[in-house]
Amino acid sequence: MWEGSTDKDNQRSTIDEDRCTCNVSSRRDFFRKAGILGLGALAGQILQEGPALAEGAKYGSSPAKSPGVAGSTDNKDPAPVIIPDVSIFMRSQDPVLVGVSNSEVMEIKLKDVLKFHGYCVGGVCFSFRAAQEAFKILCGTELPVRQSFKIRTSHHCCQAGALAYITGARTDFGAERSTGDMVLIPKEMKKIIFIHKKTGKQVTLRPLFDPHDTFKPLFRGVKKNHSMALKVQQALNNAVQEYLNAPTERLFQIEKT
């Protein structure tokens, strides 16, 4: 109560204070409930998708999902070039031994490989498909073991980078046992060789073309002339679908040793 106030004034002040306290309490309850519901929804999603991921891992392929996701992670504003939601499953014991993972199965998504190099999705898709074909021959139905392959490739730049990311093979950096496993051979040799370090088996893929020859001039051109952007995007969309889905004989000649 303050000097000169009436009983009615004091009653109104008490009501206002109670209303303010109630509002603060309501906001706190709202945020607390929202946080609980959010965690619950996330847990539900993990429980729902977990079995599908495990089932897909058994066969070294992605679980069934939508045909593709946009290059942008924001579905409300998708990027013009569509990055298919495809994966290569591999096995690696080391992350489990040192405690950074609970599973030996590693899922390597195409969009993750693309992040390693940047933007050349044409070359990345080409190497992604090359790895898929090589693993079928060298590993059969078993999951390929990461860092167990040597790579000899005449396709440099983004394509070599993609193979390094997928297989764990490195030139002069990385884990000691994989250093030197990635060797860039002269471009004139026009081949990609996968060597299984444990068995000595190898497969040679002789690409029927080099995506770099197509996209190098396009990338250089669009940086100088932005009006070429639509042409480049269309070329990339076409290449992504072709490199991932075309019959093998349209992309490579394969030699087993």
Q: Which of 1-10, 55-64, 164-173, 207-216 has the highest mean pLDDT?
A: 207-216
State which fold the 59-212+223-256 domain adopts.
Answer: 60s Ribosomal Protein L30; Chain: A; (3.30.1330)
Q: Decide if pLDDT at 234 tops 60.
A: yes
- Phi then psi for residue 174, to 5 deg, are 100, -165
Nearest alpha carbon to residue 145 among 193, 97, 182, 90: 90
Q: What is the pLDDT of residue 179?
A: 62
Write the CB contacts of 254 (distance below 8 Å, at least 6 apart in sequence).
133, 137, 203, 204, 205, 206, 248
The span from the CA of 83 to the CA of 68, in Å, is: 6
Q: Provide mean pLDDT across the span 199-222.
A: 95
Has residue 17 got a pLDDT over 90? no
Q: Which residue has the higher pLDDT, 69 or 103?
A: 103
Q: What is the pLDDT of residues 182-206, one digit of tens each?
A: 999 999 999 999 999 999 999 999 9
For the chain, give the mean pLDDT.
Answer: 78
88-116 confidence digits (pLDDT tens): 999 999 999 999 999 999 999 999 999 98
Q: Quick one: pLDDT at residue 77?
A: 72
- The more confident residue out of 130 and 19 is 130
